[in-house]
């Protein structure tokens, strides 16, 4: 396999972020956009998992928060990890709109959005549309335009043929489980986390995800570019990134840090930190580092 093809494969797997689904989750409304659990009391935080994930990817993060001060609204998105899928023209917009309505309906006072991977992209979309609803955003290993992480010259137009070839979803009915086998997935899952004990869990939850939803969400990740809309975000944003999985292909900590700064250049109020050796699941691989930046940012946010 050529190096550039392998990097693309790594990138695809990098956004396959899997968690477990909690039996205590309750479906929000009739939109079927997501399930939700509430934990704690205080300042509202909405935690959005990534591609094929459910909300329990945040369990360790929540355990380290003071839930007497923070009320965590933990989402599990439609079609991922066993949650029923939805049929919609735009998955990202549907989820973003559902979260906006959830904030308004439940009268949440300026919540913080925390999103991992695909969840971070959803958070950026919400921020660019409705910063007035939020106090701040934290994105975890999220790119405003996914293909540009590999190719800085990528555009929506030149990525559409690739996305249509690999992620065509229109003819796939809802309710069909993710089609790749355990043998296909497992060799690449080490790009997600250095925690070997998580790999079987990642495989299991991927295979519970809905095939149509997976294809559509991935298609949109390769054809939705939020970079030009970032200047609409008028609240603070914390960006936590990684580079380590690409170290054998000419990527360095410095070059990846520069890439993050370039993609987020239109963002007005931002902090960007790239970990030295964590993989995509930063909250698992570098929990102390992750929690330090999270707590520091939340403390600053509460003082503003």
**CATH classification of the domain holding 124:** 3.40.50.1820
pLDDT of residue 272: 98
Handedness of CA 111, 19, 126, 278 (dihedral sign): positive
- Quote the pTM value: 0.90
> Of 265, 122, 295, 231, which is closest to residue 113 (Cα–Cα)?
122
Q: Which residues in the chain land under pLDDT 70?
A: 1-32, 301-304
Handedness of CA 24, 29, 33, 37 (dihedral sign): negative
pLDDT of residue 11: 53
pLDDT of residue 5: 44
Total domains, the chain: 1
pLDDT of residue 21: 29
pLDDT of residue 301: 61
Which is it for strands 26-27 and 34-40: parallel, antiparallel or unpaired?
A: antiparallel
Q: Report phi then psi at 144, rounded to 5.
A: -60, -30
Query: What is the distance between the alpha carbons of residues 53 and 120, in angstroms, rounded to a whole number?
Result: 12
Give all strands of the β-sheet with 270-274 in edge-to-edge order. Answer: 26-27, 34-40, 70-77, 43-48, 112-116, 136-140, 237-241, 270-274
**Residues of the domain holding 204:** 3-303
pLDDT of residue 32: 61
pLDDT of residue 96: 97
Q: What value does the CA radius of gyration of the chain take, rounded to a whole number of Å? A: 18
Give the tens place of pLDDT for each residue, 42-86. 999 999 999 988 898 999 999 999 999 999 999 999 999 899 999
């Amino acid at each position: 396999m050529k190096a550039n093809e392998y990097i693309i494969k790594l990138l695809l797997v990098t956004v396959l972020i899997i968690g477990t689904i909690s039996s205590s989750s309750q479906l929000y409304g009739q939109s079927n956009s997501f399930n939700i659990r509430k934990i704690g009391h205080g300042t509202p935080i909405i935690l959005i998992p990534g591609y094929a994930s459910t909300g329990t990817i945040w369990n360790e993060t929540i355990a380290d928060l003071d839930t007497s001060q923070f009320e965590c609204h933990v989402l599990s998105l439609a079609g991922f990890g066993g949650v029923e899928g939805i049929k919609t023209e735009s998955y990202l917009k549907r989820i973003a709109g559902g979260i906006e309505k959830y904030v308004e309906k439940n009268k949440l006072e300026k919540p913080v959005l925390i999103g991992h991977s695909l969840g971070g992209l959803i958070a950026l979309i919400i921020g660019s549309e409705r910063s007035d609803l939020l106090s701040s955003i934290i994105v975890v290993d999220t790119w405003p335009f996914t293909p540009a992480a590999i190719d800085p010259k990528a555009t929506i137009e030149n990525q559409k043929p690739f996305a249509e070839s690999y992620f065509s979803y229109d003819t796939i009915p809802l309710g069909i489980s993710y089609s790749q086998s355990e043998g296909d997935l497992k060799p690449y899952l080490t790009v997600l986390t250095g925690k070997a004990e998580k790999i079987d869990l990642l495989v299991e939850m991927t295979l519970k995800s809905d095939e149509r939803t997976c294809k559509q969400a991935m298609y949109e990740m390769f054809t939705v570019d939020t970079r030009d809309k970032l200047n609409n975000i008028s609240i603070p944003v914390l960006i936590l990134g990684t580079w380590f999985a690409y170290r054998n292909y000419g990527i360095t900590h410095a070059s990846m840090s520069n890439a993050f700064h370039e993609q987020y250049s239109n963002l007005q109020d931002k902090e960007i930190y790239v970990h030295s050796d964590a993989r995509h699941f930063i909250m698992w691989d570098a929990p102390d580092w992750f929690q330090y930046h999270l707590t520091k940012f939340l403390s600053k946010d509460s003082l503003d």
